[in-house]
Structure 1
Amino acid sequence: MTAIHELGALELWKLLHARELSAVQVAEHFLDRIARLDAANAFVHVDAGLALERARAADAAEDRTGIIHGLPFADKDLTPRAGQPASMGSRALEGAIAEVTHPLAQVLDAGGGVVLGRTAAPEFGFAGYTRSALHGATTLPGRPDLHAGGSSGGAAAAVAQGLLPFAPGSDGGGSIRIPAATCGLVGLKPTRGRIPAQSGVGQVGGLTTAGAIARSVIDVALLTDALIGRVNGRTPHGLSLRSPEHDDGSLLAAAMRGQGRFRIAVMTGGTPWDASDDIRIAPEAEDAVAATVRALEALGHEVGEVALPDASGDLGVPGVAGYPAAFTDLWRGGAATIPIPREQRHLLEPLARWIIDTSDELTAGGLARAQLWATEYERRVIAAFSPWDAVLTPTTALTPRPLDWYPAGDGEADFRAQVLHTPHTSFVNLTGLPAISLPVHQMAPPPEGEGLPMGVQLIGRPGEEGTLLAIGRQLERRIPWTQRVVDRMRA
């Protein structure tokens, strides 16, 4: 008999809906696994009492139409929930307890989900890996010498260990796609404006949106629909960008159909960081892209190339030296909103301190120019990519990183190391486009290789997550990545 944790989220939902499993059974199973098997340090807080209370309520409910009714999930440690720890991975907020619940947690509660606890994130989510002085490092399951990626590293490590069927995350520069690729999972960053509770709209730079991590494309679609907060299959009017290509607007329906023939371009022309950093694309990343191209062509899709628009100039905005300067200023602009008094900054880790300290140097004019540059670059990228249904890149330029890869004592050097690892992800946030990471490739097992996953990123048109999910589902039928995760759980 298949163990509960080996079932996909949609399979679990069907069994819960048919009352063949109870929400209490499911919650107890995952709570037991978390207590015994979280070797990767995925969770920073578990609330078994709250979980079982929610599970009992789910079992007692007559109405089981909630899109994730009875399914367990966990909040990312950056998402406040009233009465729960609210340190955001920082010693400066150690011991803080949230007074209000974030709308993102509210919408998952309303969808019938059963919250088990909180998954690890780096301090304020600033890093593309998951390590903090408060909670330690979250590692790649089965490889305690390697980072799990970040900033939604706890979410990905939890799913990869079979501690959750899926997990919400947030993505401001790759923070869903990076850990998904590292842990051999699927991760979707939706279009800016797609998730009402954390849409990116109204933020400095509009960079961060909520999204989903799971073993399969179908389960990612299911959780994304829950994050959107659909009512009777429809998005609440006026709260979220609608998907134009599917009449019912359901991303799960698009993923389950998995139909269509599409025009897909491999991105050429380097990365937006080439002017500031010595970007090297590892052979393993190139192999992942090549394997994806072969699979896409075998499926009957048209595959071509598209050049990334040049990101090195001022684009008509004097005072902006190109993408690295514009993105970094927008990143600092977001950091300027974090309420850490100057006298407490000695408690911050070097990366957070460097970002927040340098945000003090931003002027209103400088931030406005960075936003104008970003708007112009967004226009150019969307125009260049628009003839294509999806654009293909590696998710990470390098293989999963050793624990000592990111300098521990130098914030700026840490930032630069992150750029070298993940130069393809942040421009998708800056342009507001949807993107999905798919674990299409697995390196050769020892002694020839490390046997680790490598992901690719598909970037879509605004609002066309359904297309990315359809392509991903077709690849998933051909490449057994879901079974790989289950096999690793059993090992």
Structure 2
Amino acid sequence: MSAPHELTMLRQAAAVRDGELAPTELAEHYLRRIEELDPLLGAYLTVTADRALDDARRAEERLAHLRPGEAAPPLLGVPMPVKDLVPVPGVRHTLGSVVFAHQVAERAPHTVRLLDRAGMVLLGKSNTPEFGLPAYTESRVGPPARTPWDPSRIAGGSSGGAAAAVAAGLAPAAPGSDGGGSIRIPASCCGLVGLKPSRGRVSTAPFADVSGLAVEGPLARTVRDAAALLDVMARPAPGDPYAMPPATDSYLSHCHPPRRRLRVGRLATPDVAGVEVDPEVLRVYEATTALLVELGHEVVDVAQPLRSGDRDAFTPVWAVLAAMTPVPPGREGELMPQTRWLRDQAAAFDALEYARAVAALQHVGRRHAEAVEPWDALLTPTLAQLPPKVGELRNDEDPAADFAAQLAFTPFTAPWNMAGLPAVSLPLGWATGPEGDLPVGMMFGGRHGSEGLLLSLATELEEARPWADRRPPVW
């Protein structure tokens, strides 16, 4: 058998079920790799070594007591982290902030309970920026998260730690969360599959987000692993405000090429004035278009549906999200400058102004959804630029310039959150430079609830241009 970290998540789960690989052996293997490689990459804020070994031993006991014909839970004995925006009882829960460096969570949200029920072994808490706000993962509570393809460059944000862990073989897959691109941005930076599901597909319970922007989803090396992790996570909770009925088929069952010719729209023109797309990104975009045509799909250029000023609704809503986390009295000054800048803006809005901003955001989202409706999928680059060096986007002296730089880096991702539509980033190209190869993600979005079709198309593209065996130098 290959080294355990070289196996896909699904192959690891099968090896555990078949007795080829003991959960404790698997956990110990990942803990050794984390100890060796994570100081370079900053993938983890907290490593739960004792908890991982306890979880692995419980998985072994559960396997030993399965009745004849009884199916094992789908992730039994499979190790992975949970993003440090998401609490796990008894584990340090920093929210990416030095203000909460010593906080320990008491209550498990719905998705953590689902992962526990599926048999996950918890490796720790993956790195995230403060409150999950920036498109980079840099904070004062831990080291920056770096892409394993070039550790001088960012892993993206806000699920940067999760992506760095999976790409470097420090976890087989990982859940992330995405309020403006926070799964797809690091997926592109780290050469992974990153799926943002439709609004309501994955429960946010017990958290409240009246904007409807954020949703949890999978990061993985393969489409099948991403689909299998989504199968675990996509279960509604009572009272979900945007609940969708459970899918009639598993997402894993959609991992086959489409059985018909698809109509794919494409655009690479950002709606943000003055933003130019890197020529290497455009080269991969054109190569992806050629591949779609080669596979028999119809590809048509479409106009950018967003207009000048449409983004004006996003910033105040994002600012209020930044302000929703209560900070102990006297500790606001310890927050990152970007966080304080957003929270200061939120303090200036009254309830009526915020309600109007949410309404405007929904109006823009509907226009984006109307533009997507005629197509089976819409192709765009995931990012406008290659992953920048650590610290290049961050600007503590000028948070407004910091925010503008993030927007120029990520102009294609947030509209899918505004509309609540699914979108997946796929590592369909590579930029070769003097410092080595850098992954370039291409994004496919679809109509509300069309995760199955996106996974089908992603499977076809993965089969045509396999990427899982292309591994970073630290591997």
Do the aligned residues in 1 keep the contact of 2:422 with 2:451 (CA within 8 Å)?
Answer: yes
**Is residue 459 of structure 2 the alignment partner of residue 453 of structure 1?**
no
Write out aligned runs for 1:45-124 (5 A).
45-61=46-62, 62=66, 64-124=71-131
- 1:388-433 deviations in whole A, cap 9, x for unaligned? 0000111010011112312133222111110011111011111101
- The answer for the alignment partner of 1:3 in structure 2 is 3
Amino acid at match of 1:474: E
Write out aligned runs for 1:144-163 (5 A).
144-163=151-170
Q: Name which of structure 1's ranges 132-141 and 408-417 shifts more when overlaid on structure 2.
A: 408-417
What's the CA shift for 1:311? Answer: 2.5
User: Which whole-Å CA distance do the structure 1 matches of 2:246 and 2:427 have between them?
Assistant: 25
User: Which whole-Å CA distance do the structure 1 matches of 2:43 and 2:319 have between them?
Assistant: 27
**Is residue 197 of structure 2 the alignment partner of residue 190 of structure 1?**
yes
Unaligned runs of 5+ in 2: none
RMSD between aligned residues:
2.0
User: Which whole-Å CA distance do the structure 2 matches of 1:261 and 1:79 have between them?
Assistant: 40
**Is residue 239 of structure 2 the alignment partner of residue 241 of structure 1?**
no
**Is residue 457 of structure 2 the alignment partner of residue 471 of structure 1?**
yes
Moved over 6 A (4+): 235-239
Write out aligned runs for 1:352-363 (5 A).
352-363=339-350
Amino acid at match of 1:241: M
Do the aligned residues in 1 keep the contact of 2:138 with 2:145 (CA within 8 Å)?
Answer: yes
What's the CA shift for 1:257? Answer: 5.7
Give the match's secondary structure for 1:81: coil
Do the aligned residues in 1 keep the contact of 2:85 with 2:128 (CA within 8 Å)?
Answer: yes
Task: Call closer, same or farther: CA 1:389–1:242 in 2, change over 3 Å.
Answer: farther
User: Which whole-Å CA distance do the structure 1 matches of 2:120 and 2:319 have between them?
Assistant: 34
Do the aligned residues in 2 keep the contact of 1:180 with 1:213 (CA within 8 Å)?
Answer: yes
- The answer for the alignment partner of 1:318 in structure 2 is none
1:429 is aligned, of 408, 417, 422, to 417
- 1:156-208 deviations in whole A, cap 9, x for unaligned? 000011010000000001000000000011100000000024699x5131110
- The answer for the alignment partner of 1:332 in structure 2 is 319
User: Which whole-Å CA distance do the structure 2 matches of 1:24 and 1:256 have between them?
Assistant: 33
Amino acid at match of 1:30: Y
Give the match's secondary structure for 1:408: coil
Give the match's secondary structure for 1:376: helix
- The answer for the alignment partner of 1:308 in structure 2 is 304
Report how many residues are paired: 465
Do the aligned residues in 1 keep the contact of 2:42 with 2:146 (CA within 8 Å)?
Answer: yes
User: Which whole-Å CA distance do the structure 2 matches of 1:260 and 1:116 have between them?
Assistant: 41
- The answer for the alignment partner of 1:412 in structure 2 is 400
TM (norm. structure 2) is 0.93
**Is residue 208 of structure 2 the alignment partner of residue 222 of structure 1?**
no
**Is residue 366 of structure 2 the alignment partner of residue 379 of structure 1?**
yes
User: Which whole-Å CA distance do the structure 1 matches of 2:237 and 2:76 have between them?
Assistant: 19
User: Which whole-Å CA distance do the structure 2 matches of 1:199 and 1:441 have between them?
Assistant: 38
- The answer for the alignment partner of 1:13 in structure 2 is 13
Amino acid at match of 2:231: D
User: Which whole-Å CA distance do the structure 2 matches of 1:370 and 1:350 have between them?
Assistant: 23
Do the aligned residues in 2 keep the contact of 1:152 with 1:170 (CA within 8 Å)?
Answer: yes
User: Which whole-Å CA distance do the structure 1 matches of 2:123 and 2:107 have between them?
Assistant: 18
What's the CA shift for 1:238? Answer: 8.6
User: Which whole-Å CA distance do the structure 2 matches of 1:55 and 1:18 have between them?
Assistant: 15
TM (norm. structure 1) is 0.90
Unaligned runs of 5+ in 1: 230-234, 313-321
Do the aligned residues in 1 keep the contact of 2:110 with 2:206 (CA within 8 Å)?
Answer: no
User: Which whole-Å CA distance do the structure 2 matches of 1:112 and 1:304 have between them?
Assistant: 44
2:385 is aligned, of 386, 398, 414, to 398
- The answer for the alignment partner of 1:438 in structure 2 is 426
- 1:349-376 deviations in whole A, cap 9, x for unaligned? 1111101111101111111111111222
- The answer for the alignment partner of 1:316 in structure 2 is none
Do the aligned residues in 1 keep the contact of 2:379 with 2:443 (CA within 8 Å)?
Answer: yes
Task: Call closer, same or farther: CA 1:261–1:22 in 2, change over 3 Å.
Answer: farther
Give the match's secondary structure for 2:174: strand
Task: Call closer, same or farther: CA 1:92–1:238 in 2, change over 3 Å.
Answer: closer
- The answer for the alignment partner of 1:179 in structure 2 is 186
**Is residue 276 of structure 2 the alignment partner of residue 280 of structure 1?**
yes
What's the CA shift for 1:83? Answer: 1.3
Give the match's secondary structure for 2:180: coil
User: Which whole-Å CA distance do the structure 1 matches of 2:30 and 2:391 have between them?
Assistant: 31
Task: Call closer, same or farther: CA 1:199–1:258 in 2, change over 3 Å.
Answer: farther
Amino acid at match of 1:43: Y
Give the match's secondary structure for 1:436: strand
User: Which whole-Å CA distance do the structure 2 matches of 1:330 and 1:272 have between them?
Assistant: 19
How many percent of aligned residue pairs carry the same amino acid? 40
Do the aligned residues in 2 keep the contact of 1:243 with 1:463 (CA within 8 Å)?
Answer: no
Give the match's secondary structure for 2:359: helix
Q: Name which of structure 1's ranges 252-261 and 207-216 shifts more when overlaid on structure 2.
A: 252-261
User: Which whole-Å CA distance do the structure 2 matches of 1:41 and 1:460 have between them?
Assistant: 33
Amino acid at match of 1:118: K
User: Which whole-Å CA distance do the structure 1 matches of 2:252 and 2:258 have between them?
Assistant: 10
Task: Call closer, same or farther: CA 1:488–1:450 in 2, change over 3 Å.
Answer: closer
Amino acid at match of 2:343: I
User: Which whole-Å CA distance do the structure 2 matches of 1:329 and 1:249 have between them?
Assistant: 38
**Is residue 42 of structure 2 the alignment partner of residue 41 of structure 1?**
yes
Do the aligned residues in 1 keep the contact of 2:149 with 2:190 (CA within 8 Å)?
Answer: no
